[in-house]
Amino acid sequence: MSQIKQLLILNRQGKGIKTIARTLGMSKNTVKTYLFKLDKLLSGNGTNQTLDALLSLDEPELYPLFHPGNPSYKDPRYEYFKDNLETYQKELKKTGVTRTVLWEEYRQSNPNGYSYSQFCFHLDQQETAKGKAKPSMVLDHKPGEKLYIDFAGKTIPYIDRETGEVIQCQFFVACLPYSDYAFAMAIPSQTTSDFLYALGMCLQDLGGVPQLLVPDNLKAAVTKADRYEPDINKAMEDFANHYGTAVLPARVRKPQDKALVENQVKILYSRVYAKLRNMQFFDITSLNEAIRQRVKSHNQTRMQKKPFCREEKFIADEKPLLQQLPVEPFELRFYSTHKVAKNNHIYLSQDRHYYSVPHTLVGCDVKVGCTRSMVYIYHEGSKVAVHPRCDKQGLYSTVKEHLSSHHQHYRDRSPDYYKNKALKISKVFHEFVCLLFEQQKYPEQVYRSCDGLLSLARQYELDAIEKACRTAIAYKKFSYKFIQNIIENRMEDERIPEKKRELPKHNNLRGRDYYDNQQQTLD
């Protein structure tokens, strides 16, 4: 390009064709061609150019004047293409119609038409001419600000050791756009639990949390996609709240919003998929270990046109700016709404187990959040109950404070409960209750008797109760009705008969056998 300006300078100095050709190292015919074009430019055929004006131009501006290009649009093939251009543009908007399909149909109707590359070139030219071609933008990324998240289009397999079945796994990929530091792992599926598990492992690998998570519009992250305000999946929202970050999904069908992670997927196809293609794995753990080693090597590979690798830039500039990880790991919560039954419990179908709720909420709708280990119950924005999760089907997990007072009393019944109640009333009353429990009766029967005795203790004076208990102990009549009869018939002051003294036991006793023998002797 610079030789054109040199040629013009030498020509203005009056040098001949041979001298110019020898000086610039080009053929005489080439010099003649350039001088011919110079004459046309200076001949005043509408260009109004002067030699000084040409020499004042920069080289990129000067070059097109001498090389205007090939007038390819005068080609009859272009006329045919231009006549059908509007049809091609409409067809490309239809589902499944690609440029390849369109070109094949074009060649069938015009066998001597453009090749595929020229066909696409002219389509692009028309898009650019009409201003439809959209320029791409170079984004200015801040360190530690965003984490781009995506899944590769192709799965990665391992072999089940027992059955020999080939299990296809999803390939999770994430990267920090500032340093382009990458993370990847295989997971069983794109479900919410697997997706959030992989995302949690990614943050653990990074050793910190970015300010924004930028996922695709998959169901595990976004409930309803929207260009301006997408509805975030509740589980994803809990995950972000737990890690102190926010979620900003990419726009629908706008992969350029997270172009770097899209590019990471392409690179990892060659640096992970290709490297593992001849290897066999028999569990997902060994597969992920191999992936981890390849991704580590990828992060430590020197980047093109840059004097550092991804890992160096991440450690130096980005890792110190990440937020700290929470102390407790995230547990996925599943939410559902339940109505509190009359027994102030809700039934969790996935556990087939009952969990208690405060009795004041009977008949109300409550929101239940379940993690792997806990059950949280909410009502009108307040947490009203917390239970350890239980897998014992058909049973009840009940907190005493959730029951009404009479239900609490019923559950608290035990020998110790009644003995302690009796001791607070009187020592004699406590003695009688203890003797009552020594009887060979079913516990529920004794509990009812104790309830009756406590009712009597609330109705009558303590002195009358104590006297009645002493009388019952003396006569060894351990029942509620005996005490009730004494008090109601005012017999508590009746004198208790003294016990007959028993003769001391000794060997000088004549029993029945002695007298039987005496009778036989007399006979």
Q: pLDDT tens across 111-169, in order?
A: 888 899 988 888 887 766 555 556 666 677 889 989 999 898 899 999 998 889 999 99
Do residues 432 and 468 touch, judged by C-beta distance below 8 A?
A: no
How big, in percent rounded to 5, are the helix, strand and coil portions of the chain?
A: 50, 15, 35
Residue 499 φ then ψ, to 5°: -75, 135
- Can you give the pLDDT at residue 220? 75
- Long-range (24+ apart) CB contacts under 8 A made by 225-232 are 225/249, 225/252, 227/251, 227/252
In a domain? residue 508: no
What's the gap between Cα 297 and its chain centre? 27
User: Using CA atoms, how far apart are residues 54 and 34, in angstroms rounded to an integer?
Assistant: 13
User: Hey, CA dihedral for 157, 158, 160, 165, is it positive or negative?
Assistant: positive
Write down which residue in 265, 300, 321 finishes a domain: 321
Question: What's the Cα-to-Cα distance from 373 to each of 252, 331, 391, rounded to whole Å?
Answer: 36, 8, 10
Regions of the chain with pLDDT less than 50: none
* DSSP state, residue 314: I
Write down which residue in 267, 287, 321 finishes a domain: 321
Residue (of 375, 355, 363) closest to 339 by Cα position: 363
User: Hey, CA dihedral for 472, 476, 478, 482, is it positive or negative?
Assistant: negative
User: Using CA atoms, how far apart are residues 391 and 355, in angstroms rounded to an integer?
Assistant: 12
In a domain? residue 473: yes
| Length of the chain as a residue count | 523
141 contact partners, CB below 8 Å, separation of at least 6: 177, 178
CATH code where residue 198 lies: 3.30.420.10
372 contact partners, CB below 8 Å, separation of at least 6: 331, 332, 389
Q: Which amino acid belongs to residue 361?
A: L
Residue (of 305, 337, 144, 354) closest to 234 by Cα position: 337
Burial class of 356 by CB neighbour count within 10 A (0 to 12, 13 to 18, 19+): buried
- Can you give the pLDDT at residue 72? 54
User: Using CA atoms, how far apart are residues 185 and 172, in angstroms rounded to an integer?
Assistant: 5
Helix-helix angle 284-299:259-268, to 10 degrees: 110
Q: Does 225 lie in the same domain as 125? A: no
In a domain? residue 27: yes
Q: Does 95 lie in the same domain as 17? A: no
Q: Does 150 lie in the same domain as 257? A: yes
Full 3-state SS string of 222-252:
EEECCCCCCEECHHHHHHHHHHCCEECCCCC
- DSSP three-state, residue 431: helix
Q: Does 123 lie in the same domain as 161? A: no
- Can you give the pLDDT at residue 39? 86
Number of domains comprising the chain: 5
Q: What is the pLDDT of residues 270-288, one digit of tens each?
A: 889 888 988 999 999 999 9
Provide the domain limits for residue 465. Answer: 413-488
In a domain? residue 501: no
Q: Does 226 lie in the same domain as 189? A: yes
Six token digits for residue 311: 């890992």
Write down which residue in 346, 376, 408 finishes a domain: 408
Q: Does 121 lie in the same domain as 13? A: no
For 135, half-sphere exposure in the C-beta direction (CA atoms, 13 angstrom radius) is 4
In a domain? residue 140: no
Q: Does 299 lie in the same domain as 190? A: yes
Quick one: residue 363, left, alpha or beta (phi over 0 = left, psi -120 to 50 = alpha)?
left
Q: Does 211 lie in the same domain as 100? A: no
Beta strands in 293-348 (DSSP E): 334-339, 345-348
Q: Does 190 lie in the same domain as 300? A: yes
In a domain? residue 509: no
In a domain? residue 88: yes
pTM for the whole thing? 0.56
Q: Does 388 lie in the same domain as 272? A: no
Q: Does 389 lie in the same domain as 242? A: no
Q: Does 106 lie in the same domain as 155? A: no
CB count in 10 Å sphere of residue 68: 8
Six token digits for residue 98: 């690609």
User: Using CA atoms, how far apart are residues 324 and 144, in angstroms rounded to an integer?
Assistant: 12
In a domain? residue 499: no
- Can you give the pLDDT at residue 368? 93
- DSSP three-state, residue 85: helix
Do residues 235 and 334 touch, judged by C-beta distance below 8 A?
A: yes
